[in-house]
Structure 1
Amino acid sequence: MLRTRTTPRPGASGPKPSHRLRTAVLASAACVCLVAASAPAPTPLGIGDRLFPHLGNPGYDVTAYDLAFTYSGSNGKPLPAVTVIDARTTDWLEQVNLDHAHGTVRSVEIDGQPVEFRSAGEDLVLTPGAPLPPGIPVRITVRHDSDPVSTEEYQSGWVPTQDGLAMANQADAGHRVFPGNDHPSDKAMFTFRITVPEGYTAVANGLPAGQTRRAAGTTWTYRTTHPMATELAQVSIGRSAVPRRSGPGGLPLRDVVPAKDRERLEPWLRRTPDQIAWMQEKVGPYPFETYGVLIAEARTGFELETQTLSLFERELFTRSEYPEWYVESIMVHELAHQWFGDSVSPRTWSDLWLNEGHATWYEALYAEEKADRPVEARMKAAYRASDTWRKAGGPPAEPKGAEPGEKLSIFRPNVYDGSALVLYALRQEIGRPAFERLQRTWVRTHRDGVAGTADFTRLASDIAGRDLDGFFRAWLYGEKTPPMPGHPDWHSAAPAGAS
């Protein structure tokens, strides 16, 4: 998912990127309504994710979000916002918990009726007038501020740019932008309504659904036509150019770039159609309604596969020391995520290896085919480092939790090249034809859905025609890297401090 720079770009210098990544720990600034003495004490809940236990909330399933933001032209001011959540209850609910951690809440309604609300950790806890039974539709309307200001760099889901804002909500910062069920296992449809002053352009996930001009500014509306996880939401506000072109099969493409850089960046933008065609040859039809790259003049330390509109730092395309093959392979990494991670979303954050491993795999395969950078050489280097990576970050499918105050530290080398190494070993084990059939079947079977490690290993065994449980148990959960099929001469260097 997130393409952090755990290894420096060719020729890169300066501090390690992880030092520049934003953290996501901030107490909620939600205002508190007066609550009847009989109401239960608010408690932060979660769905029990091993890495982020308080993310998500039990008792309901979100079907749609309608998000409205009003931007004043200043990154130093909160954006007045209205979040409308359509959901269906799955259990009796005396209270409804929403993930929410930043920005004042002014009022909350359930089905048009005002309700009490209080903060609890990074949850906003709503108390309806009567318990909600299971199996009913519920509409929650929250009027709040969405605050782009953070006390530390890159804590917020909003990323300030030179001319406006963008979003980077992975892994758990979506609820710093809008209240919701902020776990990738609960995907929903999205509508965005962004009001901006004259001279600004707003773009979001999905397809445009109209503009409304008023004295206060222009409201740009966008809608997705496929469900999306909250961590993949994207809104770009800036003095932007939006070049458009057609992709394979007439797929509508739109990019978002600083207007001043439109001509300079065009040589990179026009490579996207061929990259999509290349990915389609590997895994099948592109899964969404549109695609494009959002190039932001901001320093984040990562690129991000926000659905249908991947986020990139401007400097990736403007610094001359980055070879063309490298830049293109990073573009393909985020593109590959549209299949692996966006269309097929992780059931839990421990399934992260499925997303980053596959994106890294196609990044490496593209570099091999287009720039003569052999996959085998890259995998051999990864094998040498693999035991060290496993000791530092855990095995691919059971990664260690984030470091205190650094939630993005779950994005360690073992979920990138270490997980791509698992896929290389699998191809060695079952053969190229079966491996390629597995890739195509995986994205077709789980399109627009949620899937996890057990789903992948079961499908791999079915396609291989034999039980692969032992193979996967060793490669995905072992403390030591297993022998590489077909390469008995490969060795993993002992981790520092190992006896």
Structure 2
Amino acid sequence: MLLTPHSQSTTPTRRRRTAAALLASAISVCLVAAAAPVVPLGIGDRLFPHLGNPGYDVASYDLSFTYPGNNSEPLRAVTTIDAWTTADLDRVNLDFAHGTVQAVEVDGEPAQYRTAGEDLVITPEDSVSDGNWMRITVRHTSDPGPAKGREGGWVRTADGLAMANQADAAHLVFPCNDHPSDKAMFTIRVTAPDGHTAVANGLPAPVEKSGGSTTWTYRTKHPMATELTQVSIGRSTVLHRTGPHGLPVRDVVPTEHRKTLEPWLAKTAGQIAWMESKVGRYPFETYGLLVADVSTGFQLETQTLSLFERELFTEPVYPSWYVESIMVHELAHQWFGNSVSPRTWSDLWLSEGHATWYEALYAEEEAGKPIRDRMKAAYGASDRWRAAGGPPAAPKAPDPGRKTDLFRPNVYDGAALVLYALRQEIGRPAFERLERAWVGRHQDNTATTADFVRLAAEISRRDLDGFFQGWLYGEKTPPMPGHPDWKPQAPAKPQAPAEQARPAQAGAR
């Protein structure tokens, strides 16, 4: 995600199951016993303790939405979840908080259900034992209106809807295990009145027309975190082109702005080739931009179809080099954050720091904006960012009801500064080998800060524990290798919260 200024693989599955099993501790199993009260659960994420649920590992989601043709009525929806149990379950908790549940089935049999906090708590007729497949089907509504005290979920555009589910808002749209540690395959079906176009993550299947409506179906070929789900419904035009290696590139744009946007969209194939020259082959089955008439305050790296505000491209206030670097930021997330997802939300710096790094590197190589200058400015501000938002790998929790406050400068330029320091410390050749090895070793999986530290030591053949301890967890920014003259700058005055929430170089999530 970048903030905007306004004027089925066997190995990954096993690894996910292992992670889920570790999180499903004995106390979690007790909590789902039949005699226990109906309570919201979580997997104990430090920043979002009630997000996700123990006891199962989702393999796939099948989402069906029926759009009524306006944004004032809820969508009819059916969510089907296939999951592998990692504990004996008398109850199953799903994250779901902004819709009406009409019926629930477990393995084809009706099940009782209640709500607790932001959880849907399901009690099947028969308990489900550890090590078994289960299928949960929930018939529900999906409300496009704003959720009280919450951000994200469905976003109303000028002509329809889009999704912005980061960090914890997918469960405002559909029942799910809403934590990036539990990635899954997705099938998404959208039915809308004729005259609308629906696009979602992945590749399309043939459309079906019936009685004045059209149904579109999309399927992912790689696992995806719930926060990266995207569905666009509107009076849009879908543009097709070809990227490197014959990669299908599709863009979704408001029809009336197609001509203005086309020169920007034509840059994507070259940007993909540039990223491939840095870290290796693009990791998914397709890519493209979803350009929406919406004011969100950010761009978003939804998997295979990144969300952008139209004004980023049409307002003359933004110089072309800046716009292109923001496009690369979201593209870089397809490797860093989407293919290799953070195991916990404290690992967010691995996603945003890398996306910011390649954003800045692209600006240096393609527009002559030295990355050294940007990093020196970030170094000057780094102590302030750490005080306001925490060290890069130990960010402070966001305020209740404002979960996007997690996206502070410490995980953008502050985290990119860590990567710059690492390149200074181990040298450019080792750093570039590390980057390629990181996305290759953890493709379609999740990874932690500890995984990155271990790989950096392996690639560089050096003990880097002391280096990373200071740069990732220190209250103060360590000296910059090779630049002993760089000094932190004391703030001239206390920053307002709105200022603290902005990256140094304004950009995207």
Provide the TM-score with structure 2 as the length reference: 0.91
Partner of 1:340: 336
SS at match of 1:243: strand
Q: Is the 8 A contact 2:151 2:401 kept in 1?
A: no
What is the CA-CA distance between 1:128 and the residue it aligns to?
1.1
How do 1:419-458 and structure 2 match up within 5 A? 419-458=415-454
Partner of 2:28: none
Of 413, 416, 422, 2:412 maps to 416
Q: Is the 8 A contact 2:152 2:166 kept in 1?
A: no
SS at match of 2:137: strand
Q: Does 1:469 align with 2:465?
A: yes
Of 98, 102, 116, 2:112 maps to 116
Unaligned runs of 5+ in 2: 8-33, 495-509
What is the CA-CA distance between 1:263 and the residue it aligns to?
1.0
Of 338, 352, 355, 1:356 maps to 352
Q: Does 1:214 align with 2:214?
A: no
- Alpha-carbon separation, structure 1, partners of 2:137 and 2:251: 32
Q: Is the 8 A contact 2:184 2:224 kept in 1?
A: yes
Deviations 1:398-432, CA, capped at 9 Å, x for gaps: 00000232111010001000000000000000000
Partner of 1:330: 326
Q: Is the 8 A contact 1:388 1:496 kept in 2?
A: no
Partner of 2:132: 136
Unaligned runs of 5+ in 1: 14-37
- Closer, same or farther: CA 153–93 of 1 in aligned 2, 3 Å: closer
- Alpha-carbon separation, structure 2, partners of 1:432 and 1:75: 51
- Alpha-carbon separation, structure 1, partners of 2:36 and 2:467: 49
Q: Is the 8 A contact 2:240 2:248 kept in 1?
A: yes
- Alpha-carbon separation, structure 1, partners of 2:332 and 2:147: 34
Q: Is the 8 A contact 2:87 2:129 kept in 1?
A: yes
Partner of 2:375: 379
Q: Is the 8 A contact 1:391 1:495 kept in 2?
A: no
Partner of 1:3: 2
- Alpha-carbon separation, structure 1, partners of 2:455 and 2:227: 26
Deviations 1:368-389, CA, capped at 9 Å, x for gaps: 0011000000000000000000
Partner of 1:167: 163
Partner of 1:227: 223
What is the letter of the counterpart of residue 440 of structure 2?
R
What is the letter of the counterpart of residue 369 of structure 1?
E
Of 16, 37, 48, 2:44 maps to 48
Across the aligned residues of Structure 1 and Structure 2, the Cα RMSD in angstroms comes to: 1.2
What is the letter of the counterpart of residue 189 of structure 2?
R
Partner of 1:255: 251
Of 463, 483, 489, 2:479 maps to 483
Partner of 2:307: 311
Of 240, 262, 267, 1:266 maps to 262
Deviations 1:310-362, CA, capped at 9 Å, x for gaps: 00000000000100000000000000000000000000000000000000000
Q: Does 1:287 align with 2:272?
A: no
What is the CA-CA distance between 1:448 and the residue it aligns to?
0.2
Of 66, 73, 76, 1:70 maps to 66
Q: Is the 8 A contact 1:156 1:177 kept in 2?
A: no
Q: Does 1:403 align with 2:402?
A: no
SS at match of 2:205: strand
What is the letter of the counterpart of residue 331 of structure 1?
M
What is the CA-CA distance between 1:143 and the residue it aligns to?
0.0
SS at match of 2:183: coil
Q: Is the 8 A contact 1:39 1:127 kept in 2?
A: no
Question: Which is further off, 391-400 or 216-225?
Answer: 216-225
What is the CA-CA distance between 1:72 and the residue it aligns to?
0.9
Q: Does 1:277 align with 2:276?
A: no
What is the CA-CA distance between 1:154 and the residue it aligns to?
7.2
Partner of 1:241: 237
Q: Is the 8 A contact 1:83 1:179 kept in 2?
A: yes
Q: Is the 8 A contact 1:89 1:135 kept in 2?
A: yes
Deviations 1:151-196, CA, capped at 9 Å, x for gaps: 5697340000000000000000000000010000000000011001
What is the CA-CA distance between 1:132 and the residue it aligns to?
1.1
- Alpha-carbon separation, structure 2, partners of 1:153 and 1:347: 26
SS at match of 1:255: strand
Of 197, 200, 204, 1:201 maps to 197
Provide the TM-score with structure 1 as the length reference: 0.92
What is the letter of the counterpart of residue 175 of structure 1?
H
Question: Which is further off, 307-316 or 403-412?
Answer: 403-412
Q: Is the 8 A contact 2:150 2:401 kept in 1?
A: no
- Alpha-carbon separation, structure 2, partners of 1:436 and 1:241: 39
- Closer, same or farther: CA 496–56 of 1 in aligned 2, 3 Å: farther
Deviations 1:82-140, CA, capped at 9 Å, x for gaps: 00000010001111000001100000000000000000000000011222110100000
Q: Is the 8 A contact 2:151 2:402 kept in 1?
A: no
- Closer, same or farther: CA 142–344 of 1 in aligned 2, 3 Å: same
What is the CA-CA distance between 1:40 and the residue it aligns to?
3.7
Partner of 1:150: 146
Partner of 1:17: none
- Alpha-carbon separation, structure 2, partners of 1:129 and 1:201: 40
Deviations 1:435-484, CA, capped at 9 Å, x for gaps: 00000000000000000100000000001101100000000000000000
What is the CA-CA distance between 1:494 and the residue it aligns to?
2.9
What is the CA-CA distance between 1:264 and the residue it aligns to?
1.1
- Alpha-carbon separation, structure 2, partners of 1:272 and 1:296: 17
Q: Is the 8 A contact 2:106 2:124 kept in 1?
A: yes
- Alpha-carbon separation, structure 2, partners of 1:412 and 1:419: 10
- Alpha-carbon separation, structure 2, partners of 1:154 and 1:309: 24
- Alpha-carbon separation, structure 2, partners of 1:107 and 1:464: 55
- Alpha-carbon separation, structure 2, partners of 1:106 and 1:235: 22
- Alpha-carbon separation, structure 1, partners of 2:249 and 2:350: 26
Deviations 1:242-274, CA, capped at 9 Å, x for gaps: 010000010000000001111110000000000
- Closer, same or farther: CA 343–120 of 1 in aligned 2, 3 Å: same
